[in-house]
Structure formats: C-alpha cells, structure tokens
Amino acid sequence: MDSKFVYSFEEGNAKMRELLGGKGSNLAEMTNMGLPVPSGFTITTEACKEYYKNNQQLSPNIILQIEDYIQKLELSSNKKFGDSDNPLLVSVRSGARASMPGMMDTILNLGLNDRVANGLIKKTKNKRFVLDSYRRFIQMFSDVVMNIPNKNFEIIIQEIKQLKNIKLDTELNVTDLENIINKFKQHYKEQKGVDFPSSPQEQLIEAIKAVFRSWNNPRAIYYRQLNDIPSDWGTAVNIQMMVFGNMGDTSGTGVAFTRNASTGENKPFGEFLMNAQGEDVVAGIRTPKPIDNLKQIMPNIYDEFVSISKKLENHYKDMQDMEFTIEEGKLYILQTRNGKRTPSAALKIACDMVDEGKISKKEALLMIDPRSLNSLLHPQFDIKILEKLTPIASGLPASPGAASGKIVFNANDAIEEAKKGEKIILVRSETSPEDIEGMNLSEGILTMQGGITSHAAVVARGIGKCCVSGCSKIQINEKQNYMKIEDKTYNKGDSISLDGSTGKVYGEAIPTVKATISDNFKTIMDWADEYSNLQVRANADTPSDAKQAISFGAKGIGLCRTEHMFFETNRIRAIRQMILSKTEDQRKKALDKLLPMQQKDFEEIYEVLAGKPVTIRLLDPPLHEFIPTDEAEQENLAVDINVPIEKIKSTISSLHEFNPMMGHRGCRLAITYPEIAIMQTTAIINAAINTLKKHSNWNLTPEIMIPLVGDIHELQYIKSIVVKTADSLISSAKTNLKYKVGTMIEIPRAAITADEIAKDAEFFSFGTNDLTQMTFGFSRDDAGKFLKSYYKKDIYAQDPFEKLDKHGVGKLIKIACKLGKKTRPNIKLGICGEHGGDPSSIEFFNEIGLDYVSCSPYRVPLARLATAQATIKLEKTI
Amino acid sequence: MDSKFVYSFEEGNAKMRELLGGKGSNLAEMTNMGLPVPSGFTITTEACKEYYKNNQQLSPNIILQIEDYIQKLELSSNKKFGDSDNPLLVSVRSGARASMPGMMDTILNLGLNDRVANGLIKKTKNKRFVLDSYRRFIQMFSDVVMNIPNKNFEIIIQEIKQLKNIKLDTELNVTDLENIINKFKQHYKEQKGVDFPSSPQEQLIEAIKAVFRSWNNPRAIYYRQLNDIPSDWGTAVNIQMMVFGNMGDTSGTGVAFTRNASTGENKPFGEFLMNAQGEDVVAGIRTPKPIDNLKQIMPNIYDEFVSISKKLENHYKDMQDMEFTIEEGKLYILQTRNGKRTPSAALKIACDMVDEGKISKKEALLMIDPRSLNSLLHPQFDIKILEKLTPIASGLPASPGAASGKIVFNANDAIEEAKKGEKIILVRSETSPEDIEGMNLSEGILTMQGGITSHAAVVARGIGKCCVSGCSKIQINEKQNYMKIEDKTYNKGDSISLDGSTGKVYGEAIPTVKATISDNFKTIMDWADEYSNLQVRANADTPSDAKQAISFGAKGIGLCRTEHMFFETNRIRAIRQMILSKTEDQRKKALDKLLPMQQKDFEEIYEVLAGKPVTIRLLDPPLHEFIPTDEAEQENLAVDINVPIEKIKSTISSLHEFNPMMGHRGCRLAITYPEIAIMQTTAIINAAINTLKKHSNWNLTPEIMIPLVGDIHELQYIKSIVVKTADSLISSAKTNLKYKVGTMIEIPRAAITADEIAKDAEFFSFGTNDLTQMTFGFSRDDAGKFLKSYYKKDIYAQDPFEKLDKHGVGKLIKIACKLGKKTRPNIKLGICGEHGGDPSSIEFFNEIGLDYVSCSPYRVPLARLATAQATIKLEKTI
C-alpha cells in the first residue's frame, strides 16, 4: 500500500504534530473542535522527506493525493480551482513541528490567472482589490518559487510611482496596477524564458515544492541551529481556502493573544484592522486598533472571538496566539499556537493558571523555558532607550545582562579605576586567569577573540558579569590603550555599553535597570524543587560565589576550583615562587605561604555552606598560566621575588607546551609535585576541623576531587598522599571528621576504565568540557574557526560545548556510569562542566540517573527548573 | 590452609616459572633431570607479593617455612647451618620470571661468622680463602642488606693497601684480611649502632628481605620498563648450598653457551678459570681460558659438561647459557637459561636447529626477538673501533643504524651539501615537515628536543635513517651555524657520528659497515609469512619508500600520507599559494598546479606496487605546517610568490592555534576547503585509470582514506565529494575502475560511534598515535616532560606511544571493531599508527582479529615475524 501523504483538516488532530506540523495539526484540532476554520488540507512532513530523498522532486503518488484533496476541497467549499465564475483561491503555507516564525515561505492568493481575476472582479465588484491581489501573487510566486529577486519587482513599482509622482502603494490606481501586472509578467518571461504559469495546478505543485525547498534556506538553517531543531524533521505544507478580510466594512483581520504577552495579565491582548488583509496589520501603513475596540464595532464577533479564545486556552492548557479574519460578518480562525511571552509574563501566566485551576503545578513548570530565566537575574537596559540606538559592533552573547562603563584595556587599570569608584568595562583581546580580579571589579567584559566557552565567557557567567566575546570587528591596541571599530577610535576612559544577552556593543553609556526576583519566580522555583530528582549544585570558587549560589537555591558546591584562589596579588607571588623553585624544599617554602590563605578561604566557604556538600578540586591548570606573558610584568616579577630575569625566561621556556590542553596539568601536577597536593589537603582538612569546632552539628564532609585522571594508578598515587595527610591531621586533632576522595571523569580513558577507577573513587564528577574536547579531538579554543563550516554544511546541528553530544560524549558518560556502579553500587555521580546549566543536557543527565548537576551560580535557577522538567518528562515516558 | 611459599628444587619444574622465577624453576628442572645441582630451595614470587602487601615484612608463616626447608637442606647436604665443624654456607640469589641479569642483588657465602670461619679454616686448611670469603660476605651483606655504601668498605681496603704500598687485592695477606674484617665490623657498628649479625638465621632472613626489596631498586625498575616487565610480578629467592671452585687445582668455575652466541656456530662457547670463584671470571684480574681448553685439563669433566649441555639444549629446545663450578673434581651446574645471542646468531641457531630436526619451524620463529631484526637492516659501526671511543653526548635511540658525516644546521644546507656529494648529519633543535627533503638527503639526524615519537624520529624510522633525538646536552645556534657540547664548539662542516641504536653521539667520523640480508634472514621471513594470519603493509609516502617496503616484503601500503608529497620546492610553493588564497577560485588555481605532480607520484607508486593494495590518506596536517616559521624565509616567500609580507604574517597569525593537535586538520580541512579533496581524488583516480591502461590485468583498487573523522556526517560530506569526483572521472574514461572509501579511526568519538561510521566506511584504519593521544588526553610532544615521573613512581609501566595501551586504547579499538562489524560484517580492519611495528601491540591486533598492520618500511621484517609469532601464540591458547 502506498503511504498517505495528505490529510484533510478533518482527518488530523493536535497529537499529529510530527506528521502535520504545528500549524497543520492545530488547524485540524480546531476543525474537529467545531471552530470556524476555512477548509483545507496538509501535506505531511513525510512528504517533505520523500521530496528530499527523491532528488527534490514530488513523486507521482504524492501529486495524485494532492489532486485528490483539491477535488475534495472544491466539493466542501463549493468553489472550483481555476474556475472564472466561482474560483477557489488558496494559501500555501509552511508549518514545521516546531514553530519557526517567518523562517520559511508563504504564498497567498494562489489560483489566480487573467481569466480567474476577471471572474473574481465580476464576483467581488472590487477590481482594485483583485488586481492588487493578483500583483502580489505574481510577485510572491516569482520570488519564493522561481527565485527572481523581489527587488526587481519593487523597482518596477518604483518606476511607475516616480512617473506618476506618487509615494504610497495605496495611491496606485486600477490602470497602474494593470500596467504593473503586465510589466511583472514581461519581467518574468525575460528571466525565465517562458510565460508566467497560468495553470493553478502548476502554480500549486511549484509552490509546494518551494515550501519544501525553503526548509533548507539559510535563515531556516540558522534558526534551527539557534533553536536546536533537527534538520531531518522537514516541514509540512498547508493548503487552505482563502478568506478575505478586505471585502468591505464588515470584513477585517487581526492577531490576538488570550493573555497579555508582555505582563501576563489575564485579558485578551492584540490588535485588528477592519477592511484589511493580514499583510496590512504587519506592514504598518495603517495603525491597527487594540482588540478591545472590536467590542464596540462588532460586539457579536468580539464575544464569539473571546469565547473561542477561552475555549482554545482551556483546550491547549496554555496561553494562545491566534490569527483571525472576518469575511463579510463571519469570523474565521486561521491559526492558533502557544503564544510567545516575556520571561516575567511566562512566570505570571503559569502561576495564574495553576491558581485558576486550569493546569497542574507540573504542567505549569513545563510551560516555562528555563533559558528565559537568565534575563531575570541580570540588569537590563531600558528597552525604550535601546530601541533608538544603533550598535557599533556585535559579538557573541557570552554572558547575559547589561553593562555600561568606561573602557580600560588591562586588568590592573580595571582594579585601579574601580577602586576610585568608576564603572568599568574591561576590553581585552582575550582574557587569561591573571585577569580575574580585574574582571570581577568590572561591570562587563568585551573580548575580540574566543567563543562562548572561552575563558572570558566561562568566568563571566560564573560571576554573573555581562560579557560579549569574539567581537572580531574591534581592533585593540592594548599597549597604547585604545581600540578601533571601523574608523572610529575609542580611548581608555570612553564610555561604552554591552548587552550580554544579544552580543551588541553600543558606543555610549545606557542606563540599566536592576533585576528583582518576583514572587512568581520564587513560587516556580519552589515547585521545581518539589518535583526534581536531580540535585542542583553550583560551581563556586570563592566565599562570595558560594553565597550567590546559595541565594539562588544551590544545594551545595559541585566544583570549587582551588586555583582561582591563587590570583590575588599576595598569592600569585607565592605560587610564582613555587613554580620558579628548583628544589622540593624551595617549593615547600612557597607553598607554606599559601597554606594559611587557602585554609582561610575554605573556612569561609564552609561557613557560607553551613553543612551543605562541597567538592573541592585540587590544582588543575598548567603552571604557565600563572606566569606573566608580558615582558614588563616579567621584569617586575624578577624584582618582586628577587630572581634574575633570565631564570624567569628560562622557566617560561621550559614550561612551554605545544598543546597545553593536552599537557602537564590536572593530576599530572600532583604526581610531579606531591607537595602541592599535601598543602591543599592540609588546607581543606584543617579548615574543616576548625569549622566543626564552631558548628559541631553540621554534616561537613569535604569531597576532595582529583582532576584529569586517566588511569587508576594516577588516582591511587595521589589518593594515598591525600589520605595519609588527611588522616594524620584528623588523628592529631582527635576529631572524627569524615571526607571523601573522588575524581573527575574528563578523559576518555577514565570513562572506559571507570570500573577500575571506581575502586578508589568514592564519587565521579563528569567534566564535560574536557571530555567533549578529548572525545571529539578538538579544542574549544580552536574549533570556532572550522565549526562555522560545519553548521553551514549541516554536519553538526549545534555546538557540542553548549549542548552535550548525547550520541558520542553521552555514550561515554553512560558507559562510565554503568562501569562505576558495577564496582561501587552507591557511587555518587555528578557533572560539573558547562553542560550542567543547559536544559537539554540536563534532561540527558536525569535520564541516565546522575545524582546532581553543578553549574555557575547564575545558572542555578535555570538548572532547578530544567531538572524539574526533566524529571516530569521522564515520568511521562515511563 | 596456609599457602605454600617455599619449594625445594625437587618439588619444582620448568613450568613453574611464574611461581619460582626463571632461575629457581630451571634449578628444579635440572635437579629432576638428574643433573648435578647443589641442593637448595626457592622462596616463591607469591612470598614477594605477600612481603609487599605486609608492609615489607615477612609473615611468621613464611619464616617458619624457610626454617623448615633449611633443616631439610641440612639433612640432604649433611652439613649444618652455623655449625663450626661442618658448616652449611648458602648463596641467596634473586630470580624473577623474566631474566633480569645483574639488576637485582645476590649474597654469597652466607652463614659465616667468626666461629664458623674458624671451623672452615680447620676444614679447608685454606685460611686466606676463608678470610677473603668472610671479608666479601661482610661487605656484600652490609651493602646489599644494610644499605651501607660499598664505597666505604673499598676505602678501608684502599687505606690498608696504601699503608702496605700494594696494588692488587690478591697481594693482601692473611693478617691484612684479618685487619680488614675487624675494620669492616667496626665500620658496620658505627653505621648501624649494633654489631654485625653473627646469627646465620638472622643473616638469612635479612638477606631474603633485601632481595625482595631489590625488586624495587631504581635499576630494576628501569630494566623492567625497558623490557616491558610488569612491576607486580615480584621476584623469587633461591637459597642454595655453596660449592667452591677455589679449593685447589681440581676445582674451577666457568660460564658457557651450547652454541656460539656471536655467530651461532654449533659448538660450545665460553670460558673458565681453575681454582677460582665465579666473581673472578667476571672481575678480569686473571684471564679466563676458552672452554675448549678444559678438554686437555680435565677430559672427563669436559665430556660430562658437553653431554649435560647437549641434554639441556635438547630439553629446553633452545641454546643454553650455563654456569658451572668444579669442586674438588666434581662438576656442579649452578644455572641454566636460554642464552642471549646476537641477532644474526639468533637467525642461524633457529634455522640450524630446524635443520637438525630439534625444533619445528613454529618453534624456530618463536625463538627470535622481532626487535632484534632492526639492527640487521641498518649500517653499523665497526664494533672494534667503537669500543675505543667515548661519546660526546647521548640522546634517545630514535631510529636505528649508524651514521657519520659533516654537520649542517638547516635543511637547505643539507640539500646543498648532499648535492655536492658530501655525507651530511642534519642537526636541528627539532625538525618540522619542511625539513623532510633535507632529512632524506642526510645520513642521520640529531635533534635537541623531542622524544622517540617526535617528528624527527617518526620520519627517520619511516625512511630508514639513523636518528638520535632529545639530546638535551647540545646547545644549537641554528642562525650562526654552530653547536656547543659542554665547552666544545662544533661548527658547520665538522664531522660527527650517531649511533641510532644506542642514542650515542661521537665527535669524529667512524667508518660504518653496510647491512646485508643473510640467507637465514630470508628463510625466517618465508616461514613467518607461512604461519601469519595478519597481513603486513607499510606506511610509505613516496615511490622510493614503496619500493623499499616491497623489498622488505610488505603486502601493500597501509598508509600513504599525501602531504609528504608537498614538500619539494615547486610543490611547497603551490601549496603555500593555496593557503594564502583569499577566494575559492585562487585556491583552485593553486591546486591545479599540484594536481599533475601528485598524479604522477601516484602513478609511480601504483607502478611499484603492481596491483598490491594501497590506502591513500587525504591531506591531514594543519595548514600552518606548510608556512615557514623563520622570518627570513617568510620574506623570501613573499618575493617568490609575489605577495606582500604583511599578508603572509597575517595569514600565519590567523592560522595560529592554541592546541594544533586538536585544531583545524584532518577531514576538517576538506570540509572547509572541499576543493582540496576534489584535487586529491582526481589525482588518485586519474593515476589509477592511466596505470590500468598499461596493466589491465592488475587488481588496482585505490583505497581513499579520510582522516580524523569523529562523526558520520563528516565522513558522508567528504565521501559524497570523493564519490562524485571519482565516478565522473571513471565514467568519462569509460573504464570500470573500482575504488574504496574508508576512514581512519583515531578520535575516541569515532570508535564509540563506529556502527554509524561503518555505514559509509568500507574500511577502518586505526590511527593509534592520535587515538592514544586523545584517549589519554595528552599530546606526545608534551607528555615527555611528566611521563618520567610516571615511570619513576610506577604509575605507568611503559610509554603508551610505543606499546599500545591494551586496557584503555585497546578497549576502544575492540569496541570499534565490534560495532563496525555489526553494521558491515566484511569491513576491512587495519592499523597504521606507530604501534603497527611493535610486537606486543601486534599480538593484541592479531587477537582482536584485524586484517592487517601497517608500519614504516624498515619495520616490515620485524612486523612479519611478530605477526607470525602472534598467530602461533594465539593458536596455542585456543
């Protein structure tokens, strides 16, 4: 039996979204609910796949089915396709599974030709309307279906307008339009060598193919990539009888939401125009009226519309966004879908609908996009001011929020100016760990190089600073303290503004509005925690990070990167002394200086956590990250710690690595220099002993995490040092402090030998950043260059550093979990890479049964909601 | 029941090598064969493991068993431990599963104290001998067991010799020896605070513990690492009744082989000394006599010895290396083991023993160490001249062979001088791909940096050139054309010599002896091919490499790296033009220049292979490898291809990568620049079409290999380009040429998604170099720095780049094979990383059922033998 590729609206329903697309399945659902929907049918997404399989041709079988359904439509509408007396005109519109507004193509008024147009003029007695529709159809069809640039047609219209010295399209009279239609047809023939197709059947088939083709136009591909929509879904095509809102004073058209999309208020929200077509509402030539006004003009229609919209909201259990047309006093619904809304409206609508008893708490949680929460936590620009400004450049939206301030080009200046009370924007080619203090004191960070997982981006998200990265349009002269954008120079002290949510850079100061957390926000977070199986911890390196994380509801710290404690002036000096040491003894002396500082940090962090769990990672980055790269700074260092400059240079050269990402770092450091692990363990354990003295009832169990393990013997070697150090301190202090030793799983070899590693690891924390790098074999710093081609050529759908690659990296994680549990059934499993804050990755982590995810403090609310959603979705599937 | 930790020689046999060690199991075997072996017993390797588990203590159970077996030994020897009338003296010697000559410790004459010594003097009437033995025992015991430096004792002897103005130990009289013994004991007490232990029982237990400890002394660890001996094997300890070869003219001692260890001639080979102890043979004070002479001195003993040695050789089916002692006219065998031999002797012995009907061909193949074949393929220094010379420096033995020549410091000079007919040694800090032509024309390569898998090492082994890498003692000034070693300067044109098998560098020219391939060599190779299941191919990039590989018996080319064809002057210019192109069009023009050259290379390679298979890899390295790093060369390039120098500099800076190993290379290049893949496919296919025109009967099926694939979509994208290009050429040429498209599996993600990748890959070739890097997460260029600590701390037993890590990387390979075969049961599986030439890795590849290994041409004979051994060993186990 041949497959069925076409469904009338009567044959479908809302559950058939995969096959019929969003628009088609909703049209079918509404038809079967008895709502006034113009008749029509849907060509399925399967037909789209067939079309691509079949070398971009429609198979005879599909064409036959389409013809069959056109006949059915003729019967039900009592009109005839291509008939001059009572012609059937149709719209041809795309409709994918996921909403992709404006991304693909639409053709209206299809079925027109000279003969049909004449018939329609007779029937409607509105020659101007018919000719304008015909003109629009030729233009739309030539552009969308035949690839003749729309611009060419606009030029023809422009020429006639100039000749007649008029400005608006509406000033064109009937003769002008006839003239234009003739010139359009002529241009079509010049371009294509044949006449404009007058057969409605041919128009229809070509239009359907064009919609299928539009699935792969560049803006659709880009949109899919941005919104994680798989390229193999395909789009459906909807063929629907045209109804006209421009047939006189009892006709009209409009767009409306069931609730206010901006504030969430429970009241219809939208606008309409009488005697108009859909296009006119959007075009902005006439000003549409608020939907309320319809009550006065056509009270019955308004009541009918409100009743339908309530029905739809109750039916879909979500706020709806509807298109409608009134044709000679009769209301038609052309489309409904869940309405887009602002993040704060989303929270209010969800809470209100629970209060109204329309949905459950679980349903409310599923209604909110976790990613939208981010913007509620960060300051924002005043949208009204922003609208009037033009950005001077644009980079990657690396860390959300808005920031204004005076620019500086190095971290030292940032510190100096910030201490004077200035608001600072730090502008760098790229940042490095030495910049952290300066970054912390700035309002925002702008970099020329690096992607959204670059150092600047990761750190900025961690501390909740706004950041725009990879803004390649700026040219920075860090030595002479200026940057150029095109021809304009910006000096140190000039004001700029950054929008970290859009990546835009503005050349002036813009006032910002502080973020406040609403009651609805708190309610949703409480509900989320109620339903979530997966704990949310935070990646936090300092007491203030930890505080922020706890205030956002983190249940502990999943990653405390000890090296971030080393960059303050006093500390960096000691760590540099350690690196420049020749003997173990010298190294120990330098480490002795660091010990009390690090111990104090841990005491403060434990204090903030008040017994919540904390996973502390031993020193991880390669040592060269601690040594200044700048010659002048090297000279300062030489004086500062009284070492000849040659010594510093030779150390730098000996620390040079070809591939630092694959070099001497992670646990490899502690194997070469066990004294580092000893110092860090001492700080961790002594701090815990001191804290427990003050708070004996706290359940304080430090989790010591050994990074970058690839082989059980690495773990065993370092664990034995940690345990020896810790046990001796604990026994001297005569306490019964417990601690755990575990490892990061971030090397492929660790994942596939996890059964062995679990012998000595009491917990695993997946470091998905590194694991992704090693599994794919590319570094995130270098991949930016070629991944662009990958997206363009449809090789990758999205950046594996943003969204976990479930198929490859995820498979390794699954293997590691399985092997780990085989050896140690109660092993604690978590993840602390950037993916800990990505909803789709969280869904995967929940599926495979991890115990917690850890993400940067400002992502904690997002993650709390995402973990709840993941849990609820998983319940549904089982 | 308590375990049995001690076995008398009667209780053991040769099959118990794991438990009793090599020495112990052979002593047991000989005892049971009825050969004259002094009685004794063995403490097992399990006892050694217990000792380490038990915090380096012997458990009471083990001590009890030892005491029990001492009593048994007293009974069988009719002597008594610690008895003054008829004392039992014993030797305590280590004996691991694998032979580790001289690596661990031995204590002789144990059981002596003042009282026993006096008794023995009475018994032997040889006071000087007894005192000398006593002196040696104290010295050996103090050094080996108690860690008092041997040097201290030598100083005491030295002082007495100076006082008496004598030079040789033999000149010391009985009084001197008594004096020395007293001073020794005194020194012992000063160092240890207690008297030298006089209890034989205490001496024994401490000595046994010392032997166990010696398993982990630095030189034993180093030896194990060098010889792939696992550190958890442990050593056994042999306790054996002393027999003395120095009891007069009817006593003696010697060492002999059953055949000539140097030439393989079937004739006893060795030496002996009458009235002497084992030590004296080694010490070189008296000159030992050839074993033949024993025939005259003690004909019966000689006949008995020859008869025993034949018996042992027949029994062990291998040439034996024996130690014997004659005590007062009675022959004792103290040890037998398979004798070490030169590589050419090994071949002769194996072939001879097959001819003699003593062993089968399979047994003969298993007798030869594949690694020993290497030296037979390369020129060697005249050993007699070499012995008299002192090396000026020493690096890593990166590629075997010997080379003498005049030094130059850059590839251009190498080319220039070589063309004048000079023999050249190329000295570089490190080499890069631009140096290949120069390397090819040099006799040998010496580098300051880089390990045995550095660029220099890999290329040198590939082309069979001698190479010493990582010689950190030299300081090179490449600009000013000189190098310094300590204070001596070597200028361009000075002669040096390199020994690539030892890593030694000599400061003068040394004549070399050319390698010749013997008949025995050919015989062994033929037998190897007869029994091997695993095909051996070669990694060969040029027609001359291919020729070499075929002459060594390669069955095809498993890896032809196309980029190596690009480094000749004309070609590098075109490739640089391509890299500096701004548009696709410019790139195509540059590629058009390369096409005929590359096509010609392929035609020549096909011609050499005469229908044997060849796998050609598309362009792999990052593009920056083709651009000169030197400023002056960059300026030349600018002039040469008429591009402003700023353009070149900006291209270099845009090509810069943080981690080039994880950057824009492999298939990622062809995705960004498909025109490269098109040009290369065209060259491969056109060359094949042309070749088939000449040789229509050849089975020429080019295998096009796409490198660094991590995701099926990468492969699909490039494969579609390759197939489209190839099919169009084939159809235009109206031939029916077949070709295959496959991929390298060298990214962990490719291994774990191999089921998907096999949908489009007709073959997999495992690139174990990269796969090892990515799986471990360290780059081979950077790992050298920290792997030293890993070996020292017993974290890794060996370099995973030399010997495949079966446990981790091997697991991934197994997964990939399984998944690949699931999708495509007849998929062809091979390996083309460096491990293709490593015997233990080959064994693994055979076990998991690969179809072929591919290695550098000079490793082909080694691999042929190793694959045969692997097949034979696997047969045995199933």
Report the pLDDT averaged over residues A304-328: 95
Instruction: Give me A86's structure tokens.
Output: 């009572």
| pLDDT exceeds cutoff 60 at A285 | no
Q: How far is B793 from chain A (nearest CA, A)?
A: 8
Q: For A785-815, write each residue's pLDDT tens digit.
A: 899 889 888 899 888 999 999 999 999 999 9
Strands B269-274 and A466-469, how do they pair? unpaired
- Helix, strand, coil percent content, chain B, rounded in steps of 5: 50, 15, 30
- Tokens 């092997």 belong to A819
Is the distance from CB of A843 to CB of A866 less than 8 angstroms? yes
The beta-carbon neighbor of A747 closest among B658, B777, B815 is B777
Provide, rounded to the nearest whole percent, the portion of chain A with pLDDT above 70: 98
> Which listed residue (B187, B378, B455, B835) is catalytic?
B455
Would you mind telling me the total number of residues written for chain A in this entry? 878
Secondary structure letter of residue A535 according to DSSP: E
Tally Cβ neighbours within 10 Å of residue A472.
12
Q: For B314-353, write each residue's pLDDT tens digit.
A: 999 999 999 999 998 999 999 999 988 888 899 999 999 9
Chain B residues touching residue A671 (CB < 8 angstroms): 786, 789-790, 793, 795
Query: b/e map of A811-847 (b: 16 or more CB within 10 Å)?
Result: bbbbbbbebbbeebeebbbbbbbbbbbbbbbbbbbbe
Mutation to test the A interface, candidates B667, B712, B795, most A Cβ within 10 Å: B795
Instruction: Give me B853's structure tokens.
Output: 């290994």
Is the distance from CB of A525 to CB of A861 less than 8 angstroms? yes
DSSP H or E segment with residue A338: strand A330-338
Query: How many helices, marked H, and strands, marked E, lie in chain A?
Result: 35, 33
Q: What CA–CA distance (Å, rounded) separates B113 from B185?
A: 11
Pick from A30, A88, A376: nearest CA to A243: A88
Q: How far is B649 from chain A (nearest CA, A)?
A: 17
Query: b/e map of A610-627 (b: 16 or more CB within 10 Å)?
Result: eebbbbbbbbbbbbbbbb
CA distances from A626 to A576, A683, A720, A870 (A): 7, 20, 27, 40
Q: How far is A650 from chain B (nearest CA, A)?
A: 14
* ipTM of model over 0.90: no
Strands B269-274 and B252-257, how do they pair? antiparallel
Chain B residues touching residue A783 (CB < 8 angstroms): 662-663
Q: Confidence band (pLDDT; 50, 70, 90) for B388?
A: confident
* Spacing of C-alpha A31 from chain mean position: 34
| pLDDT exceeds cutoff 90 at B458 | no
Mutation to test the A interface, candidates B749, B770, B771, most A Cβ within 10 Å: B749
Secondary structure in 3-state letters for A790-841: HHHCCCCCCCCCCCCCCCCHHHHHHHHHHHHHHHCCCCEEEECCHHHHCHHH
Secondary structure in 3-state letters for A699-729: CCCCEEEECCCCCHHHHHHHHHHHHHHHHHH
- Tokens 């100083």 belong to B155
DSSP H or E segment with residue B513: strand B512-513
Q: Confidence band (pLDDT; 50, 70, 90) for A283?
A: low
Query: Which range is least confidently modeled, B501-505, B744-748, B780-784, B806-810?
Result: B780-784
Contact check, Cβ <8 Å, A808/B752: yes
Is the distance from CB of B167 to CB of B140 less than 8 angstroms? no
| pLDDT exceeds cutoff 60 at B282 | no
Give me the total of CB pairs closer than 8 Å, taking one residue from chain A and one from chain B.
164
The beta-carbon neighbor of B779 closest among A659, A749, A795 is A659
Chain B residues touching residue A659 (CB < 8 angstroms): 659-662, 779, 781-782
Query: Which range is least confidently modeled, A521-530, B95-104, B245-254, B718-727?
Result: B95-104
* Spacing of C-alpha A596 from chain mean position: 42
Chain A residues touching residue B786 (CB < 8 angstroms): 664, 668, 671-672
Q: Confidence band (pLDDT; 50, 70, 90) for A467?
A: very high
User: CA of B808: which chain A residue's CA is closest?
Assistant: A749
Q: What CA–CA distance (Å, rounded) separates A220 from B38?
A: 89
Tally Cβ neighbours within 10 Å of residue A737.
17
Instruction: Give me A638's structure tokens.
Output: 């030489």
Pick from B39, B41, B48, B40: nearest CA to B3: B48
Contact check, Cβ <8 Å, A776/B717: no
The reported pLDDT for the residue numbered B455 is 78
Q: What CA–CA distance (Å, rounded) separates B423 from B509?
A: 10
> Which three-class secondary structure state does DSSP give residue B488?
strand
Beta bridge partners of A557: A538, A614
The beta-carbon neighbor of A777 closest among B710, B776, B781 is B710
Torsions phi, psi for B229 (to 5 deg): -100, 120
Q: For A217-261, write each residue's pLDDT tens digit.
A: 877 887 787 677 888 899 999 999 999 887 778 999 998 999 998
DSSP H or E segment with residue A444: strand A444-447
Secondary structure in 3-state letters for B146-202: CCCCHHHHHHHHHHHHHHHCCCCHHHCCHHHHHHHHHHHHHHHHHHHCCCCCCCHHH
Q: What CA–CA distance (Å, rounded) separates B862 from B855?
A: 10
The beta-carbon neighbor of A752 closest among B663, B779, B811 is B811
Contact check, Cβ <8 Å, A658/B782: yes
Query: Which range is least confidently modeled, A447-451, A861-865, B574-578, B677-681?
Result: A447-451
Tally Cβ neighbours within 10 Å of residue A266.
17
Chain A residues touching residue B773 (CB < 8 angstroms): 662
Pick from B509, B508, B485, B491: nearest CA to B409: B491
Contact check, Cβ <8 Å, B807/A661: no
Chain B residues touching residue A790 (CB < 8 angstroms): 671
Q: For B179-206, write each residue's pLDDT tens digit.
A: 999 999 999 999 999 999 999 999 999 9
Query: Which range is least confidently modeled, A645-659, B151-165, B826-840?
Result: A645-659
> Which three-class secondary structure state does DSSP give residue B561?
strand
| pLDDT exceeds cutoff 90 at B866 | yes
Mutation to test the A interface, candidates B662, B673, B719, most A Cβ within 10 Å: B662
Q: Confidence band (pLDDT; 50, 70, 90) for A2?
A: low
The model scores a pTM over 0.80? yes
Tally Cβ neighbours within 10 Å of residue A36.
15
The reported pLDDT for the residue numbered A257 is 92
Q: Confidence band (pLDDT; 50, 70, 90) for B649?
A: confident
| pLDDT exceeds cutoff 60 at A284 | no
Report the pLDDT averaged over residues B867-874: 96
Contact check, Cβ <8 Å, A782/B746: no
Q: How far is A657 from chain B (nearest CA, A)?
A: 6
The beta-carbon neighbor of A777 closest among B774, B783, B812 is B774
Residues 6+ apart with CB under 8 A from A544: none
Torsions phi, psi for A608 (to 5 deg): -65, -40
Q: Confidence band (pLDDT; 50, 70, 90) for A101?
A: low
| pLDDT exceeds cutoff 60 at A489 | yes
Q: Provide the residue type at B16 as one letter.
A: M
Q: What CA–CA distance (Å, rounded) separates B790 from A709?
A: 13
| pLDDT exceeds cutoff 80 at A400 | yes
| pLDDT exceeds cutoff 90 at A299 | yes
Query: Which range is least confidently modeled, A275-284, A549-558, A637-646, B376-385?
Result: A275-284
Report the pLDDT averaged over residues A647-656: 85
User: CA of B813: which chain A residue's CA is closest?
Assistant: A752
Torsions phi, psi for B628 (to 5 deg): -65, 145
DSSP for B335-399, please give it: EEEEPP--HHHHHHHHHHHHHTTSS-HHHHHHTS-GGGGHHHHS-EE-HHHHTT---SEE-EEEE
Contact check, Cβ <8 Å, A782/B714: no
| pLDDT exceeds cutoff 90 at B784 | no
Chain A residues touching residue B658 (CB < 8 angstroms): 660-661, 779, 781-782
Q: What CA–CA distance (Å, rounded) separates A612 from A605?
A: 10
Q: What CA–CA distance (Å, rounded) separates A657 from A664?
A: 8
Strands B235-241 and B90-96, how do they pair? antiparallel
Contact check, Cβ <8 Å, A664/B808: no
Catalytic residues of A: 455, 832
Q: Confidence band (pLDDT; 50, 70, 90) for A568?
A: confident
Highest mean pLDDT among A92-106, A619-633, B464-478, B742-756: B742-756
Residues 6+ apart with CB under 8 A from B532: B864, B867, B868, B870, B871
Pick from B874, B878, B872, B876: nearest CA to B368: B872
Contact check, Cβ <8 Å, B786/A664: yes
Sheet holding B289-290, edge to edge: B289-290, B269-274, B252-257, B320-327, B330-338
Q: What CA–CA distance (Å, rounded) separates B570 from B572?
A: 6
Report the pLDDT averaged over residues A527-542: 95
Q: How far is B744 from chain A (nearest CA, A)?
A: 13
Chain B residues touching residue A786 (CB < 8 angstroms): 664, 668, 671-672
Q: How far is B667 from chain A (nearest CA, A)?
A: 11
Q: For A586-633, write each residue's pLDDT tens digit.
A: 999 999 999 999 999 999 999 999 999 999 999 999 999 888 887 888
Q: What CA–CA distance (Å, rounded) separates B454 from B782?
A: 10
Contact check, Cβ <8 Å, A796/B749: no
Report the pLDDT averaged over residues A511-538: 92
Q: For A815-829, write each residue's pLDDT tens digit.
A: 999 999 999 999 999
| pLDDT exceeds cutoff 50 at A1 | no
Q: For chain B, give the mean pLDDT.
A: 91
- Strands (DSSP E) contained in A194-288 are 235-241, 252-257, 269-274
Q: How far is B434 from chain A (nearest CA, A)?
A: 18
Burial of residue A528 (number of CB atoms within 10 Å: 0-12, 13-18, 19+) = buried
The reported pLDDT for the residue numbered B1 is 47
| pLDDT exceeds cutoff 80 at A31 | yes
Strands A424-428 and A402-408, how do they pair? parallel
